[in-house]
Chains A and B, each alone.
Chain A
Amino acid sequence: DVKVTQSSRYLVKRTGEKVFLECVQDMDHENMFWYRQDPGLGLRLIYFSYDVKMKEKGDIPEGYSVSREKKERFSLILESASTNQTSMYLCASSHGREADTQYFGPGTRLTVL
């Protein structure tokens, strides 16, 4: 079974703090993704990566950055958290260049006060 884990299920931070969200997958998948999920909206892609040290912007990269130093780990960074970044953050991974089925982690519910 594919397993995607995320470092925290719930996180509360203050405006202006630097926030790190970690994601690890154990299936040697090339592709990793960060989404945010908000009520009434579909999943929105923040950043994705097709390989180690590679990253590409998704639909809503503003206010975020990512790091992929190892194949199994993909980190999402909020340089200076703001209240509009309060959301559910979902990490996913998939195998293959043409984005096969994506497998999701349990999500991190981030609240920025």
Chain B
Amino acid sequence: GQNIDQPTEMTATEGAIVQINCTYQTSGFNGLFWYQQHAGEAPTFLSYNVLDGLEEKGRFSSFLSRSKGYSYLLLKELQMKDSASYLCAVRDSNYQLIWGAGTKLIIKP
């Protein structure tokens, strides 16, 4: 079967750095997405990786290792507004998105 694993919840301090991991086993691979979802709101696109390595976008970076079936989202200089759920999704061989359950990130002052 297809499976995406990410931690259920993480806590970090304002101004710090946090890394949210995502491991996957899917039928094929055509890219990995990270989305942010604030409580009661729609998911919004953060990043996309299809090749191995690190993609940096401001305070957020996303890393992919296809051989290990592994990705992480790195958030730097955490702000209170970063409190949200972070969803990992993998596009499989049929170009369908397989979604993780999401990681709820709690930022403390």
Contacts and interface: CB of A to CB of B under 8 A. Distances in A.
B44 interface: yes
Contacts of B4: 42
B42 A43 contact: no
B47 to A, nearest CB: 10
A90 B42 contact: yes
B57 to A, nearest CB: 13
A62 interface: no
B96 A40 contact: no
A67 to B, nearest CB: 21
Interface residues on A, range: 10 to 19
B106 interface: no
A41 B43 contact: no
Interface of B: 4, 8, 30, 33, 40-45, 48, 87, 89, 91, 95-102
7 closest Cβ pairs, A-B complex: A42-B99, A104-B42, A43-B99, A99-B95, A42-B101, A104-B43, A106-B42
